[in-house]
Amino acid sequence: MSSLGRGAGLRRAPRTEIGYHPTVPIELHYWPGIQGRGELVRLALEDSGTRYVDVARLPESEGGGVGPMLALMASPHGLPPLAPPFIRSGKLLVAQTANILLHLGPKLGLVPRSEAKRIGVHQLQLTVEDLYTEVHDTHHPIATSLCFEDQRRAAKQRASHFVAERLPKFLGYFERVLQQNGGKHLIGRSTTYADLSLFQVMSGLDYAFPRATKRLGKKVAGLRALSERVASRPRLARYLASERRIPFNESGIFRRYPELDP
C-alpha cells in the first residue's frame, strides 16, 4: 500500500490517537508534484492526526491520479470546484483553501471557541492567500499559461517591487499581529491553522527569496520563532521528515529563481 497520504488507500486508513475521525477518510484533491496551496490543507490534516487520502498521489490502480480530481471539477452535479485544492468528506465537497480550513478548523481543534476569534483566523488565512497570489505573480506576472522564460523581464520587475515593498508590508503586518497577541500565536492562546500557514509562508520565502527574507532580520524575529515552534510540533515534525512532504520545486508557488532575489 502506498504511503503518500495519511492512511494511503481510498478504503483503508489507520485511526490516529487524537484528531478528527470521519467515517470515511477525507479525500484531498490537489496536483501531485507540488506543495502549492494544497500544502496549507495538508499541514492542518497532518497536525491534527486526521485520516485523509492524498488522492492524486496514489496509483491509478488504487483509484488515484488526477482523473478523479478532473472528474469532480467537470461534474454537472452540485457546485463543482473551479480548481484544486478541494476536499471531499462523504457527500460534502469543499473548495478554495481558506474555505476548506474554515470548514475543517473547528473539527480539527485549530480555531478558538470564540466566534470573533474564529472569524479572525479566517481573516488571517485570507491575507495569507493574498500573499500567495503575490508570490506566484513574481514569476508569472503576465500569464500562468506562459513559461517563466517567456516573461522573465516582467518577472524581474515585478519581483523587485515585491521584495522591496510588498514582502515587508505583509510580514510586518503578521509580525505586528503576533506581538499584539503576546508573541506566541497569531490569535488566541493555542495553535490555529493560521499559525500553520505562516510556517509554510516562512518556509516558502526562505526557499524562493532567501536573500530578501534574510534582510528583514529582526523585523520578523517573532515569525521566525513561531515557524520553529510549529515545525517542532510532534505530528508535523514527523510529517516534515517523511516522504509525504513534497520538496519545494520550480513548479510550485514558491520558486527559486536567483535573478528574482538579488
Strands 26-29 and 52-54: parallel
| Residue 53: predicted pLDDT | 96
From the centroid of its chain, how far is CA 58?
Answer: 20
Q: How are strands ordered across the β-sheet holding 52-54?
A: 52-54, 26-29, 86-89, 92-95
Q: What number of CA atoms fall less than 13 Å from residue 20's CA on the CB side?
A: 21
| pLDDT by 10s per residue, the chain, length 262 | 334 555 433 333 333 334 566 778 999 999 999 999 999 999 999 999 999 999 999 999 999 999 999 999 999 999 999 999 999 998 899 999 999 999 999 999 999 999 999 999 999 999 999 999 999 999 999 999 999 999 999 999 999 999 999 999 999 999 999 999 999 999 999 999 999 999 999 999 999 999 999 999 999 999 999 999 999 999 999 999 999 999 999 999 999 999 999 9
What domains does the chain contain, in order, with CATH numbers?
Answer: 26-108 (3.40.30.10), 115-260 (1.20.1050.10)
Query: Grid coordinates representing 124?
Result: 488571517
The Cα–Cα gap between 14 and 98 comes to: 27
b/e map of 99-126 (b: 16 or more CB within 10 Å)? ebbbebbebbebbbeeeebbebbbebbe
The Cα–Cα gap between 148 and 171 comes to: 26
Residue type (1 letter), 174: F
Strands 92-95 and 52-54: unpaired
Residue 32's closest CA among 61, 62, 59?
59
Global confidence as pTM: 0.91
Neighbouring residues of 180: CB distance < 8 A, sequence distance ≥ 6:
none
| Residue 24: predicted pLDDT | 82
Query: Grid coordinates representing 169?
Result: 508590508
| Residue 11: predicted pLDDT | 32
| Residue 1: predicted pLDDT | 33
140 SS3 class: coil
Query: Grid coordinates representing 38?
Result: 494544497
